[in-house]
Structure 1
Amino acid sequence: MNVAVLVPVKAFAQAKQRLADVLSPAERRRLAQTLAEGVLAVARDVPLFVVCDDEEVREWSERHGAQALWTAELGLNGAVDDGVRSIAAQGFDHIIVSHADLPLPASLTGIARDGTATFVPDVRRDGTNVMSFPLDRPVPAAYGSGSFDRHCDAARAAGLRVEVRADARLALDIDVASDLTHPLLREVLPTWLPTIPVNPFTQQR
């Protein structure tokens, strides 16, 4: 398969608003950028694209080896769909779409399966952290509450074989404060987040 990876990245200054009770604006910005850099790093050997509508993110993406696709005023779903069409037009036949806030993305590029739509739900089995599908039968982006079921239904309606990947690490994302208490994050939390209870460095202060 000729596979590409697509990552939608929000302006860092606007990211992680639901962590406002535990993190300062500067910490939220830094966390969003750190997580996104981790996702791009694991996909560095695959053609990599970022959809964005922020000039800082566009420049950051290109520094990290990704081709930035400008998608202003389209919203998340419109931006992903537009990015998918652009990537298909470049001759790729399969795509992996990943959220940018996965703290443990190491297995990201291994989920693509020929002729199959693969979905990794979040830990609540509500959202879709990662999805992969053939570009001749694209799955429309339907992010938001309940997106996992919507994406699976759309793939089946397109006649695709559907695989649900139970990947405990890819299922982790960081949206709310309780996400930061997951045991698997003890080894990867940035040491500059002193307000996070599971950060081992917090206990030393």
Structure 2
Amino acid sequence: MTYKALIPVKRLTEVKSRLAPHLSQKQRADLVLEMLRHVIDALQTSNALDAILVVSADPHVLAQASAWGAQPSPEEVPGHNEALHAAAIRERNAGTGALLTISADLPLLHPDDIRQMRNLAEEHAVVLAPSRDGTGTNALLTRPPLAIPYRFGPGSFQLHREAAQDLGLQHTLYTSIGSALDIDVIDDLTALKYLKAEAVRNRNSLVS
């Protein structure tokens, strides 16, 4: 079975508006690209996927994605869920067996997160990875693509879960700090700095 990933990315002029009081537009764009590269690297290193597609209306995002080894997928229609739906339809029609739709802003994502989600997908039609606050969806792995409709936005985790329940699909949750910590507000950046510092301290304690 073919497993692929979709990573949606907004236009760089529109990203991370809730960080605008703290970061300039360029800083926010650079942050998004840095996190996107990390997510692509984690997906590639997992060796659990046959292809990685970046869906965006931003030519610079698509060019960077291509340079980093992902397939650029220009948005076919406006709107976050609508663009993902169009991309997923295309992949399903091309014979893709399972599709992982994952956020671009997961700076602690680890290749093991991807491997474990794929393992869960062997027994479940839907694998959900919630955001740190439990309300959003940071990753959605469906077998086949569009086993449930995209409902990204406020409260998406509950909406996706209810969709799987309503359709009687086997579904499960995957939770780790790598899949849960997305960067939207300044508190998320503070948490990221703390977790990175904690990881360094732990490594140093193992060496000493």
User: Which TM-score tier does this pair reach, normalised by the shorter chain?
Assistant: 0.7 to 0.9
Which residue, out of 52, 60, 66, partners 1:62? 66
Partner of 1:124: 133
* Contact 2:103 2:138 survives alignment (8 Å): yes
Deviation (angstroms), 1:9: 1.1
Report Cα offsets for 1:119-160 as digits up to 9, x if no partner: 011111000001101026522111111000000111222221
| Separation in 2, partners of 1:105, 1:181 | 17
SS at match of 2:178: coil
In structure 2, C-alpha distance between the alignment counterparts of 1:147 and 1:161, rounded to whole Å = 18
Distance in 2, matches of 1:63 and 1:167, equals 29
Give 5+ residue unaligned stretches, structure 2: 200-208
Question: 3-state SS of the aligned residue for 2:129?
Answer: strand
TM-score (norm 2): 0.84
| Structure holding more helix per residue | 2
Greater alpha carbon shift after TM alignment, 143-152 vs 44-53:
44-53
Q: Is the 8 A contact 2:75 2:83 kept in 1?
A: yes
Residue aligning to 2:86: 82
Letter of the 1:6 counterpart: L
Q: For the Cα contact (< 8 Å) 1:19–1:175, is it kept in 2?
A: yes
Shift of 1:72: 4.5
Alignment partners' CA distance in 2, 1:136 and 1:8? 15
Aligned residues: 188
Regions of 4+ moved over 3 Å: 185-188
8 A Cα contact 1:140 1:154, kept in partner: yes
Equivalent residues of 1:52, 1:72 under 8 A apart: no
Identity of aligned residues (%): 29
Deviations 1:95-117 (A, max 9, x none): 11101000111134220212421
Q: Which residue of 1 aligns with 2:29?
A: 29
Closer, same or farther in 2 for the Cα pair 1:186/1:139, shift >3 Å?
A: farther
2:105 match: secondary structure:
coil
